[in-house]
Structure 1
């Protein structure tokens, strides 16, 4: 019996990664099998994104050895700026997957987020997890990226941005400059240890972005409980993300937008500020709830590759 063809999708981020396997001829999302993987780190030697992808694909092949892979779709953080040779990366991942090289597709995480949220329709999507990036595209002629430059100077409104802003406020209170962030200081010291140890504990870690982003849910919880400093951070974060999304609404696109990413799970003041600021900045645009997740978008990407619907690469967003 010839095994049924499947597609394999991989979603890689700073706080974790996942692989999804689906039959090619099944309804989207049905009979899906999922594996969890590690998070992407960035150090002096570069990003570990390809190592994490290869490891997760190898784990999927080991878990489901008898499955025929028709296509692989990979959405990865930091791909546009931290992977030197995407073509070599494609060959490596195809070899690990045992899939035809021509049917392996590598995309920035903003593209798989876009496919998941809008289901392939043109418009703009902002993805907010560890980092934050927006993409406005019609998957053809228009490709507009906003944000995603990394936590040292960008990722406005993201998990790592919220964590950094909270630590900055906590340090000011620790140093006696203000008294406003006492609750944030206590929470940060519970998570990361005494404040004087933070530079040694955090700055030296290759996965510091993901680690610091892990503090964002506690900041959101403090804000929801009425802490003024945490509330201000969450409101500002929501406004920053809205501005990033509006900037991705290229004039060549329909005025349609959506969002995705774990930080939106904070809800409350973050989501309220995001929606209000988006409406203020783009009153003529339609903001729709996401149809699916970035992992759904990676599955969508793999299905497009399997069906021959992707006719050309679009570096630095899509390689095949």
Structure 2
């Protein structure tokens, strides 16, 4: 299937995360969005009733945005949502729900890792590391083969992520408190932020999103590192090494492009040189044929790209629903859904 670009009068892009939801609306081929909105996120499509929760979060942001622009429908919608690849039935349910509820002429739904890839590399092959509360590498070659590295959540993976780093810092604080580990400024920082070891354990054990709680400690780790705390510095370097291993695994899986383009995106990059310098150094030491480049766009740009482009390298990862002429309709005239 060759890549096609579909003209649209309005395109809505959604980036649904576990902690927040962002939306942007474009008119026609305008380079800049005409409206933006933010709201609460959802735990993802693999969570119980994940499609319902995701749909509610998206509509809570998108419906007022469209109404404020005087639109009672939208032409094309692109959505990045966690869990899309792992829960195809929930993804199909969400795509069809958005088509009917916004309403929209067409919906393209993909994993947030896929929309990040499409945005960062402008739809081209390569490797994208998305490091925020979680961490995942998306690697896609000209053969359209998608490879996900990590992104397994805080229990099994997300190594080097904000949650991983924050939890490592909190564990260092607890060890210092118990006398099982070296003294560190992270101990006092943790108690100032969370109230003490008991309160910290309670928050992590009872919150619906403990990864978010852990990731919230990252700024304190960064501050301690800037002040010369050896434990904090070592933890940030360990995060960089973990992220580098994921990037290298993704690059090794890509065929047909050399050197392999690599883009690094996500909220954790706001740590700046204290994270990026050891990360780049680890990649360089590997000797792998990589070309680290600046991201061309965001996950919202990627969602827009998937909404209006069909048949590109990301197509096998996209769940589509809608009423375009090129999307089959069933005998009753209802929108059909395709998973490619």
Q: Same fold (TM over 0.5)?
A: yes
Q: How many angstroms does 1:33 deviate by?
A: 1.5
Q: State the Cα deviation string for residues 175-198 of structure 1 (Å, max 9, x = none).
A: 1112332x1121112222211122
Unpaired runs of 5+ residues, structure 1, are: none
Specify whether residues 189 and 46 from structure 1 end up closer, same or farther in structure 2 by C-alpha distance, changes over 3 A only: farther
Q: In the aligned structure 1, how far is the partner of 2:108 from the partner of 2:271? A: 32
Q: Which residue of 2 aligns with 1:271?
A: 276
Residue in structure 2 matched with residue 318 of structure 1 by the alignment: 318
- Residue 240 of structure 1, CA deviation: 0.9
What corresponds to 2:10 in structure 1?
6
Identify the residue that residue 24 of structure 2 maps to in structure 1: 20
Residues 59-91 of structure 1, C-alpha deviation per residue, up to 9 Å, x if partnerless?
333333426511100111233335752111111
Q: Whole-Å Cα distance in 2 between the matches of residues 311 and 267 of structure 1? A: 31
TM-score by length of 2: 0.83
In structure 2, list runs of 5 or more residues that go unmatched. 1-7, 321-340
**Alignment coverage as a number of residue pairs:** 307
Bigger radius of gyration: 2
Match of 1:232 among 209, 231, 234: 234
Using the size of structure 1 for normalisation, the TM-score is 0.88
Q: SS where residue 292 of structure 1 aligns?
A: coil
Tell me, yes or no, if structure 1 residue 300 matches structure 2 residue 305. Answer: yes
Q: Which stretch of structure 1 is more off in the superposition, 238-247 or 63-72?
A: 63-72
What's the Cα RMSD here? 2.3
Q: Deviations over 1:286-308 (max 9, x none)?
A: 1111112212222222232xxx5
On the 8 A contact 1:122/1:253 being kept in 2, the answer is no
The verdict on how the C-alpha distance between 1:282 and 1:206 changes in structure 2, with shifts beyond 3 A counting, is farther
Stretch of structure 1 that moved more, 67-76 or 156-165: 67-76
| Aligned residue in 1 for 2:124 | 121
**Contact 2:151–2:157 under 8 Å retained in 1:** yes
2:198 is aligned to 196
Instruction: Look up the SS of the partner of 1:248 in the other structure.
Output: helix
